[in-house]
Amino acid sequence: MRMECLRGYIGIRGCTDSQPVSELYINDLEGISLESIEKLANEEQKTYLGVWRDVERRALKKFTTSLTNYFRTKYRIKKLLDRYYFGQYVDPSDTAPAAAGFRGISVELNPHRTEAEISPFITMSVSRFQYYALADDDIEFQIIDPLSNEILWSEIVAVKSGQWNDVKAIFSVPALQFTRELRIGYVSTGVVSPKTSLSNDTSGECGCSIAGCCSARIKGIETSTLGVSYDTENSFGIRGFVSLQCSYEGLVCASRELFSTALWYYMGAEMMRERIHSSRLNKFTSINRKDAQELLDDFLDVYQNEMETVIDAVDLNESECCLECSAVVTYVETTL
């Protein structure tokens, strides 16, 4: 679990302020000032920004582990829901001509039960992505949210003719952060595409019941100035697999304002650890070391109280598809 949605969520007031979404700043906590952070910077960190970068990175890793442990006391969730393969066989003699637009696949959540809610635990992952090229070319590959028209990921890849080319798209996104459909493919301007097989196999299982339905369907897609067309047999030269996984990340990212105070104080505690273990010698790292330890303890107390309150307030339907059907409160083992 990466929790990238929390990166930059807590800000730092400095010379070039940019307001974080949470409107919370690390140096608004008692006992933390911009001067005290600046005085912690070593030769590698150089300035307060370097200190904050290191503190934020460590804090998010530890916060993620701690958050998982809190959730484990209340919910048991599944690991892998389903995996969808596409484009396993290529026919270079059957081609789509070069045309301005986009080609690839569309991954649609809950294709049979659009009235069902999307599970907040679902994360969609692309962990293998290849393209069979008919000519040497530089092709721009993209992952798009079609409703918002947002490009979530893109990279230009130099492909070689007559072979499968790796597209290093290690990509995952919580289901609640896109609008039920993702498009995975490439800009088709100037690109002649071979036909690659597409098994239109759709998971019909929705976990324990319709609540938080967890299924998907893959179709080939081609866009142009004339509109959008879908294909149930062709993935237009790309192959790989998409998986639906259950993790706490989706739930946290979809409701991160609930965790903002806990995260704020946890980052304050990590800043105090940085101060206590700093190699710099000045009043903030030596004379006031006892004060730093007291602040560390105080920040952790607030963090723990906030986390217990938030986790207790999260109430999910026991039939939610990412939850194990047999139990809600017990030990849980996940991939996070």
Among the three residues 246, 275, 299, which one is the final residue of a domain in this structure?
Answer: 246
pLDDT of 56 strictly over 60 = yes
Structure-token pair, residue 218: 């893959």
Q: Are residues 8 and 97 in the same domain?
A: no
Q: Are residues 182 and 308 in the same domain?
A: no
In a domain, 58, yes or no: yes
Q: Are residues 231 and 104 in the same domain?
A: yes
Among the three residues 216, 246, 276, which one is the final residue of a domain in this structure?
Answer: 246
Structure-token pair, residue 243: 């998986």
The 10s digit of each residue's pLDDT in 84-100 is: 888 889 999 999 999 99
Instruction: Tell me the one-letter amino acid at 146.
Output: P
| CATH at residue 106 | 2.60.120.820
pLDDT band of residue 282 (cuts 50, 70, 90) is low
Q: Are residues 157 and 305 in the same domain?
A: no
Q: Are residues 108 and 191 in the same domain?
A: yes
Among the three residues 197, 230, 246, which one is the final residue of a domain in this structure?
Answer: 246
User: For residue 208, what are the CA distances in angstroms to 139, 287, 320, 321?
Assistant: 42, 58, 7, 6
Q: Are residues 96 and 68 in the same domain?
A: no
Q: Are residues 189 and 285 in the same domain?
A: no
Q: Are residues 129 and 37 in the same domain?
A: no
Boundaries of domain holding 300: 4-75+252-313
Structural domain count, the chain: 2
Give the pTM: 0.71
**In the chain, what is the straight-line distance between the N-terminal and C-terminal CA atoms, in Å?**
5
Average model confidence (pLDDT) across the chain: 83
Q: Are residues 277 and 166 in the same domain?
A: no
Q: How far apart are CA 270 and CA 272, in angstroms?
A: 5
